[in-house]
A and B are shown apart, each in its own frame.
Chain A
């Protein structure tokens, strides 16, 4: 049977998203999406000895956009940046017990935002 609506886990993360907010002076910052398309996500990370010690997000978008953002912050928190950068869109979707087919592409940008934040962290580190 085709999936109808969102999984319980998606709804749970949508209603009670983890790690919402902003980190002042983050070690890494990533922003993806476009308001015209209906999804914008930003992720802030605090990193110590290459470990993500804190992570926050803000998202404009649909239910799955908010849930995937929340999930990706949970998955990345406490991980080494080289591990966190391996988290894929697919990982996020399966941790949420799947997403409806039409949501897989447009709203599952959360992993991309995380990757951008890690890239930003690495660039800053190199410059130091």
Chain B
């Protein structure tokens, strides 16, 4: 067995959890930590310089998602905050229009938990199921929407299973009856083209770090005319929707990261798709291994699996011994000790959901990684199955 640090270089395949900042972004944004440190609200020259850079970044984000104009972009402290603002900000502002919210069963917790809180405060909250590949059930969606539905939240693509949702069809259905469609595009942005106008999106969440930008910034696109209220009150920054002094370094880095992602998207994604497909083909040769999520409607950098008779945290720890970092939806690796709600939503049994492994590729990933990663996966699965009492029946 190869142990950490012996001779294998690190292969980081957990880009959905965190990404390194692009060196070009770091260079671009660095002055805003030191010399150009102004508060964008200050009226002196140092403040104005910061203000101009923030507005330039806002413009880059608007172009990135093809928004109507840059005033549609609200910077936040991250995607969780943007999701909270989208959910609570529209529901509370439009309470006279209705008190119902809808989300897919596979939304991120930063959408589901604010909706649960609204439910405690008298809103109706309905989740829409997905099929075994993770695609939202459009008939069920249509059935649960009413004139009271002020907000429907559907993610562009799922971070745990990589499935891309039919957002344009969803948008049509939502706008037939309900009011606003919010789309969490954290996993999708930079990997598939997003056009908020063409896609019919009212609110859209982005994360800086998921674009190779600094952590600590996110953005919410809000279509002109959408009625929203702030959930963070204070000095009135971001046109009153998100008070608090701007995180200059992160916000300015986010814009530059979006510009680079926009420019390099196609070439980089074609590269990742070929690595991903080879990786999936190799790993699925393992006995009783299964792809989770959609085989075709899938993010370019995403390969997710489950293996019978073994548990995901053990898989993660064992892969880390090869200096390969992966993720899992297993209960034992979560803070709640519950298996991933996404894996349960696609119909996996608890014991099946425990044995999941998620690989998310990035710019550092190369085709040469496929062989060592498949080999390490094979050996990991084999070793853990030998320890497992559950593989007994199957081996007979």
Contacts and interface: CB of A to CB of B under 8 A. Distances in A.
B138 interface: no
Contact of B339 (A38, A65, A102): A38
B389 A66 contact: no
Interface stretch (B30-38, B56-64, B103-111, B305-313): B305-313
A66 B349 CA distance: 22
Interface in A1-43: 6, 11, 14-15, 17, 20, 31, 35-42
B388 A37 contact: no
B321 A42 contact: no
Interface of A: 6, 11, 14-15, 17, 20, 31, 35-42, 58-63, 65-66, 102-103, 106-107
Nearest to B321: A15
B390 A62 contact: no
B317 A14 contact: yes
B335 interface: yes
B152 interface: no
Given A36-B349, A41-B389, 13 more contacts: A11-B317, A15-B321, A35-B354, A37-B350, A38-B339, A38-B350, A60-B387, A63-B314, A65-B311, A65-B314, A66-B314, A66-B387, A106-B337
B351 interface: yes
Interface of B: 1, 3, 309-314, 317-318, 321, 330-333, 335, 337, 339, 349-351, 354, 386-390, 392
B350 A59 contact: no
Given A38-B350, A38-B351, A102-B337, A62 B386 contact: no
A102 B214 CA distance: 31
Contacts of A37: 331, 350
A20 B387 contact: yes
Contacts of B1: 15
Nearest to A10: B317
A22 to B, nearest CB: 8
Given A20-B386, A35-B351, A40-B389, A62 B310 contact: no
B388 A58 contact: yes
Contacts of A40: 388-390
A36 B312 CA distance: 13
A11 B318 CA distance: 9
B332 A62 contact: yes
The 3 closest A-B pairs by CB, nearest first: A62-B332, A62-B313, A35-B351
